[in-house]
Amino acid sequence: MKRELIKKVFSFLTGSIIKKYQPKIIAITGSVGKTSAKEAVYLIFSRYFPTRKTEKNLNTEIGLSLAFIGGVEAKSSLFLWLKNFVLGFWLILFKDGHYPHFIVCEMGADKPGDIKKLVSLAKPRLAVVTAIGRVPVHVENYPQGTDQLINEKSEILKGLTKKDFAVLNFDDERVWQMKEKTKAKVISFGFNQGADMRITDYQVKTKIIDNGFELPDGIFFRVEHRGSVVPVWLKQSLGRPSAYAIAVSFACGIAFDLNLVELANVATDFHQENGRMHLIEGIAESVILDDTYNAAPLAMQSALETFADLPAKRKIAVLGDMLELGRYAPETHETIGENASGFCDLMFFVGQKMKFAYAKALSRGRFKDNLDKVFWFEKSVEVSTKLKNLIEPGDLVLIKGSQGMRMELVVEDVMAHPEKAKELLVRQETPWK
């Protein structure tokens, strides 16, 4: 009851603030890649205009309202809730001459009706759909399956006018088909030929460390748009999702008449949030690829594809359950086990769902019944003792899983400088600890 009252008050405040200040709203949804795209778009627009964004993954009604109010996540703090209310009413009663011109919003769809509510609360001028994938996250909350979830995501496009813009993933057929559901001007992005904002010449940059092993050191790619080509080198990011995020930000920038060459210069400062394909120094002169922020089938597959392409003496995968997949869980986890076993040297699977991956890996090729190379644990806190004893110099260790699996605990145990955990890892706030 209290939460519903808070939602009603926040909805009133948000609507009144939007009506008074009329900020241009950029809304982003998708099953994966929302937060990365939001961060890249915010980076670009904040260099040119007063801009604000939804914080962290606060992509529900309350999180969206906080972006317009300029408030903070209150959780159980009565003082912070009251502070947010006061901020909201102050903006309505008085004039803030520095109010943002652009608000970049991440919009989540955990269940049917979510996007429709968010769009009615904050109608965008530009809407982005990042990627859906074959089995989207949260699909277990949609009784009619994937098609119902896709239709929910497309709600972000339906209210756009002919003067507005839709930025859609050209590589994801389900996303690209959404162009039929909007009147807006469509800008596509992707690797495939035909995309308006096309990513080409993607490659991983490497470096030689002291012990002579070659390890990854960021990514390089080019972006083509209407005959113009700009290079982008991201030294603090890995994986195609980072390239997609930059392409989204360029598409949004072009929609508002920004210069592509200038955008490429700004993009060099982009880096993913903690827990999203971060390279961290590991014990025994190893390197950790920390992707513990969350996991969905498409994101897990993308992480494995990136991992497969990276140089290393040995590759060790530590993979936790992908949650909220319902009846799709056995099949999707088996696929992960099969794919990882194709190139990894050691594999650690964590959680009840990853039992399917564990069994599949043990049935494949060189790993068949090899209990010295493939391991299963029920919880993330059980992994580290075994993992520590097996890591060697030059190893590259991918650690990934859904938020609820707490895979960052494994990273903390095998990183070379655990005193930097608060600075480098996800979920370091007091409630999580």
Query: Pick from 311, 323, 374, 387: which is nearest to 352 by CA?
Result: 323
Region 374-380: what's the mean pLDDT?
97
Question: CA 32 to CA 247: how far, in whole Å?
Answer: 15
Tokens (6 digits) for 133: 């994938």
pLDDT at 1: 45
Cβ proximity of 209 and 285 under 8 Å:
yes
The whole-model pTM stands at 0.89
CA dist 76 and 73 (Å) reads 9
CA dihedral defined by 161, 195, 271, 107, rounded to 10 degrees? 30
Give the full edge-to-edge strand order of the sheet including 346-350.
Answer: 278-281, 287-291, 395-400, 314-320, 346-350, 374-377
Q: How far is CA 276 from CA 314, 391, 403, in A?
A: 21, 22, 12
Q: Please, are residues 336 and 134 in contact by the beta-carbon 8 Å criterion? A: no
pLDDT one-digit tens code per residue, 363-373: 987 787 778 99
Task: Please compute the mean of the pLDDT values over residues 176-197 and round it to a whole number.
Answer: 97
Using DSSP, state whether 390 is helix, strand or coil: helix
Mean pLDDT of 3-30: 94
Average pLDDT value for the chain: 93
- Which residue carries 């982003």 as its tokens? 28
Is pLDDT above 90 for 97? yes
- Taking only the tens place, the pLDDT of each residue in 49-81 is 999 999 877 778 888 999 999 998 888 888 999
Phi and psi at residue 20, to the nearest 5°: -75, -45
What span, in angstroms and rounded, lies between the C-alpha atoms of 199 and 190?
Answer: 6
What single-letter DSSP state applies at residue 60? S
| Partners of 204 in the β-ladder | 219
For 252, the enclosing helix (H) or strand (E) is helix 240-255
Q: What is the pLDDT of residue 346?
A: 97
CA atoms within 13 A on the CB side of 413: 18
By the 10 Å C-beta count (0-12 exposed, 13-18 middle, 19+ buried), 145 is classed as middle
The pLDDT tens digits for 101-120 are: 999 999 988 888 899 999 99
Of 271-275, 334-338, 344-348, least confident by mean pLDDT is 271-275
Mean pLDDT of 373-400: 96
- Tally Cβ neighbours within 10 Å of residue 212: 9
pLDDT at 23 over 60: yes
Contacts of 55 (CB under 8 A, 6+ apart): 63, 66, 67, 72, 73
DSSP class of residue 369 equals T
Q: Which of 282-296, 362-376, 407-421 has the lowest mean pLDDT?
A: 362-376
Q: Token pair of 423, please?
A: 């600075």
Paired with 203 in beta bridges are 220
Identify the structural domains of the chain with CATH numbers, from first to last.
2-267 (3.40.1190.10), 278-424 (3.90.190.20)
Hey, CA dihedral for 344, 347, 353, 356, is it positive or negative? Answer: positive
Quote the percentage of the chain above a pLDDT of 70. 99
